């Protein structure tokens, strides 16, 4: 807003629902004086606010975002916070901590809803409902921009002139579907470069998983018919495709072409496998997402089913972070806006619970999708049955999570006893190194807590120090821990007492993963442990984090591990001790992550091209050099006069390339 209260810029939400974050101009009213209560500070802001839709942010004294909210009327909405009483404990704490606020106006409330959801996902405010594990969903793509289209799994931005089908609930669901579609329609799954370089059919052709258009085993017209059939199948025309195949099989058998009839038989079998493993397949619903929510034991679970082209393309359970005082309807409403922030909504969204802003949500999603989106809670019929099926699944998923959390809590409590911790750890970090004779050395950190492995907290460390002798595990561990905790000290306050209550005696979020670890487990013996202790001592945090080393037993036998804890004699645990199994799982996960990271780095180095490192060499010049000389090694050996002869390589660039390789020796 400018001084007269009018909008100083266009809405940060475009008419197609996209968010222009860089264009947001937040306005902050002056809050003079210090030591005032949150109610007083908010009351000052109310005097300057307009009666228009928009988004507001609440900050604490340290500048952290406490809450992001949207409003149809900013003045009325913020006024509700300025009351001295009548708030829930959550709102009262939020108001108490508020030191300042910022505001931005939008054209409509639906635009405010879209902007609010985007900001919540980016800023992750403490008092908002937060959608966790929000990976993009995989799709199936058919590359129709190629003479012989291929079928692939796809995530991320879309490319024009390609057909996308989805979303699918998981990468596994996509892989299984592609696997079956290969058998049914014999489409290629190789990259374009592999396709262009083939001189004879590959193994997939031999096992009847590809029709080999690359070598002309099938002409492009007939292959295009297979592609068209696959597209129709993914568009929901499965019955039509199966009937057509059955007729072709009968015709082939009638003409005694039994080999061709067997091909159609196998393809029909593959298609029936897809349709028979999709569970429920609604007849009257083409394009819909179904959401069901359930709360129990302070945990909220939301299950979503995807139906596209009348087919069930999987389901996934979410466990959003939400205050225990919020009703299921409130959590579901906040979840939906964030869920569709980076996903195209379908034409129909079915909910298990009525949400208060149902009409607003429909309007916002329609704006984003550029087509009408209906959000409804069905009361009868097939749609009601779909929601009932989702409710059954959400209850089962929540039951499993509660059982796992209970089991994990018991293991963490036992872990605290074994390693002498004051209370069960909320965050356990496990470190491991991986290398081959000192080459491509990497360090890895995995994290576990009350909800199991927290993979979004995993970190990898490429060993950079040139002073470390290749293969020096102690030196590598020193570098990894130094980098990890030096950064942690800069970014996060040292961990405080975590007794389970906040300053105003309200329970804290037990599922929240703290930044600081309670326990560090190092894969190694006394030497590795001492290296870690030296780092923590040097950084002045040795009294804040417990550390232990895990050494493999004699002959590297699992079950005979020795544990090293500062101030204690090395010890082992009984072979059948659940804590031993738990620690083995943690160590094996760290080892798996370290090995995978090392292999990825080694593979990248193996396929890297020396020309990539030459300053000024981009894709076009690199292609010209390789076309002229054949290999990067030949470019390295080339004389200056030969480099000058390459089309697109100037005399100055040729000199630069020659100097680069000869200076390198």
pLDDT at 283: 63
- Give residue for tokens 């091209």: 609
The domain that holds 41 is classified in CATH as 3.40.1440.10
The domain that holds 646 is classified in CATH as 1.10.150.20
**Do 620 and 601 belong to one domain?**
no
**Do 425 and 554 belong to one domain?**
yes
The domain that holds 594 is classified in CATH as 3.30.420.340
**Do 143 and 118 belong to one domain?**
no
**Do 453 and 495 belong to one domain?**
yes
How much of the chain exceeds pLDDT 70, in percent? 86
pTM, 2 dp: 0.68
Give CA–CA dist 361/355, Å, rounded. 9
Give CA–CA dist 630/622, Å, rounded. 11
* Stronger pLDDT, 281 or 271, i.e. the higher one: 271
The number of domains in the chain is: 5
Q: CB of 358 within 8 A of CB of 376? A: yes
Residue length of the chain: 665
Residues 326-356 pLDDT 10s? 899 999 999 998 998 888 888 899 999 999 8
**Do 625 and 601 belong to one domain?**
no
Last residue of a domain, one of 89, 123, 157: 123
Which residues span the domain enclosing 191? 139-276
- Answer whether residue 588 is part of any domain: yes
- Answer whether residue 333 is part of any domain: no
**Do 509 and 594 belong to one domain?**
yes
Give CA–CA dist 369/347, Å, rounded. 9
**Do 436 and 365 belong to one domain?**
no
**Do 573 and 627 belong to one domain?**
no
Model confidence at 292: pLDDT above 90: yes
**Do 107 and 206 belong to one domain?**
no
- Answer whether residue 9 is part of any domain: no
Model confidence at 6: pLDDT above 60: no
- Tell me the pLDDT band of 273, cut-offs 50, 70 and 90: low
**Do 489 and 580 belong to one domain?**
yes
Model confidence at 401: pLDDT above 90: no
Last residue of a domain, one of 123, 158, 176: 123
- Answer whether residue 283 is part of any domain: no
Model confidence at 85: pLDDT above 80: no
Residues 459-478 pLDDT 10s? 999 888 777 777 788 888 99
pLDDT at 413: 92
**Do 477 and 557 belong to one domain?**
yes
Last residue of a domain, one of 590, 605, 620: 605
**Do 634 and 535 belong to one domain?**
no
- Answer whether residue 337 is part of any domain: no
Give CA–CA dist 642/501, Å, rounded. 74
Question: Could you please report the per-residue DSSP string of 575-605?
Answer: TT-HHHHHHHHHHHHHHHHHHHHHHHHHHHH
Averaged over 515-535, what is the pLDDT?
91
Residues 165-210 pLDDT 10s? 878 887 887 888 888 788 888 899 998 888 888 888 889 988 888 9
- Answer whether residue 172 is part of any domain: yes
- Answer whether residue 409 is part of any domain: no
How much of the chain exceeds pLDDT 90, in percent? 24
- Answer whether residue 405 is part of any domain: no
Model confidence at 29: pLDDT above 50: no
- Tell me the pLDDT band of 16, cut-offs 50, 70 and 90: low
Spatial neighbors of 303 by CB under 8 A, at least 6 apart, are 291, 292, 293, 315, 316, 317, 318, 390, 391, 393, 394, 397
Residues 648-659 pLDDT 10s? 888 888 888 888
Spatial neighbors of 400 by CB under 8 A, at least 6 apart, are none
Residues 377-390 pLDDT 10s? 999 888 898 899 99
């Amino acid at each position: 807003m400018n001084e007269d209260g009018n909008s100083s810029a266009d809405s940060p939400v475009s008419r197609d629902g996209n968010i222009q974050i860089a264009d947001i101009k937040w306005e902050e009213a002056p809050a003079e004086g210090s030591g005032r209560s949150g109610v007083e500070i908010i009351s000052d802001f109310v005097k300057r606010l307009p009666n228009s839709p928009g988004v507001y942010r609440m900050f604490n004294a340290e500048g952290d975002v406490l809450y992001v909210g949207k409003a149809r009327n900013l003045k009325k909405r913020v006024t509700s916070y300025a009351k001295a009483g009548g708030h829930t404990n959550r709102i009262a704490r939020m108001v108490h901590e508020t030191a300042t606020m910022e505001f931005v106006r939008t054209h409509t409330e639906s635009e405010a809803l879209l902007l609010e959801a985007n900001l919540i996902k980016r800023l992750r405010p403490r008092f908002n409902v937060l959608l966790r594990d929000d990976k993009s969903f995989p799709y199936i793509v058919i590359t129709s921009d190629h003479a012989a289209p291929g079928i692939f799994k796809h995530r991320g931005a879309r490319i024009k002139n390609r057909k996308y089908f989805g979303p699918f609930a998981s990468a596994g669901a996509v892989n299984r579907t592609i696997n079956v579609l290969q058998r049914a329609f014999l489409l290629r799954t190789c990259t374009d470069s592999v396709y262009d370089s083939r001189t004879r059919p590959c193994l997939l052709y031999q096992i009847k998983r590809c029709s080999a258009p690359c070598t002309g085993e099938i002409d492009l017209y007939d292959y295009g018919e297979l592609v068209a059939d696959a597209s129709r199948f993914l568009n929901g025309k499965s019955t039509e495709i199966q009937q057509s195949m059955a007729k072709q099989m009968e015709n082939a058998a009638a003409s005694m072409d039994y080999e061709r009839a067997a091909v159609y038989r196998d393809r029909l079998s593959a298609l029936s496998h897809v349709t028979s493993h999709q569970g429920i397949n609604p007849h009257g619903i083409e394009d819909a997402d179904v959401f069901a929510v359930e709360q129990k034991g302070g945990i909220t679970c939301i299950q979503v089913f995807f139906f596209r082209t009348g087919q069930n393309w999987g389901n996934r359970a979410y466990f959003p972070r939400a205050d225990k005082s919020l009703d299921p309807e409130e959590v579901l409403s906040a979840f939906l806006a964030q869920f569709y922030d980076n996903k195209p909504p379908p034409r129909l969204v079915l909910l298990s619970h009525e949400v208060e802003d149902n009409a607003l949500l429909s309007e916002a999603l329609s704006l984003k999708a550029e087509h009408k989106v209906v959000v409804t809670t069905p009361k009868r019929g097939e749609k009601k049955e779909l929601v009932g099926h989702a409710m059954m699944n959400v209850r089962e998923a929540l039951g499993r999570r509660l059982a796992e959390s209970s089991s994990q809590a018991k293991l963490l409590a036992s872990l605290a006893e074994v390693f002498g911790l004051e209370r069960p750890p909320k965050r356990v970090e496990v470190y491991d190194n991986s290398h081959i004779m000192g080459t491509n050395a990497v360090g890895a950190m995995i994290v576990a807590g009350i909800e199991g492995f927290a993979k979004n907290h995993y970190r990898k460390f490429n060993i950079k120090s040139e002073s470390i002798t290749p293969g020096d595990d102690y030196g590598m561990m020193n570098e990894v821990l130094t980098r990890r905790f030096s950064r942690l000290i800069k970014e996060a306050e040292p961990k405080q007492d975590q007794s389970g209550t906040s300053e105003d005696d309200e329970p804290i979020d037990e599922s929240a993963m703290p930044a600081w670890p309670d326990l560090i487990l190092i894969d190694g013996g006394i030497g590795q442990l001492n290296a870690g202790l030296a780092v923590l001592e040097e950084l002045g945090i040795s009294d804040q984090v417990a550390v232990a080393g895990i050494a493999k037993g004699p002959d590297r036998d699992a079950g005979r591990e020795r544990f090293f804890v500062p101030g204690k004699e090395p010890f082992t645990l009984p072979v059948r001790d659940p804590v031993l199994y738990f620690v083995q799982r943690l160590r094996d996960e760290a080892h798996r992550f370290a090995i995978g990271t090392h292999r990825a780095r080694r593979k990248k180095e193996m396929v890297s091209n020396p020309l990539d490192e030459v300053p000024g060499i981009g894709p076009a010049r690199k292609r010209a050099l390789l076309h002229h000389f054949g290999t990067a090694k030949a470019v390295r050996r080339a004389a200056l006069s030969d480099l000058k002869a390459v089309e697109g390589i100037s005399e100055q660039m040729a000199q630069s390339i020659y100097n680069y390789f000869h200076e390198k020796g």
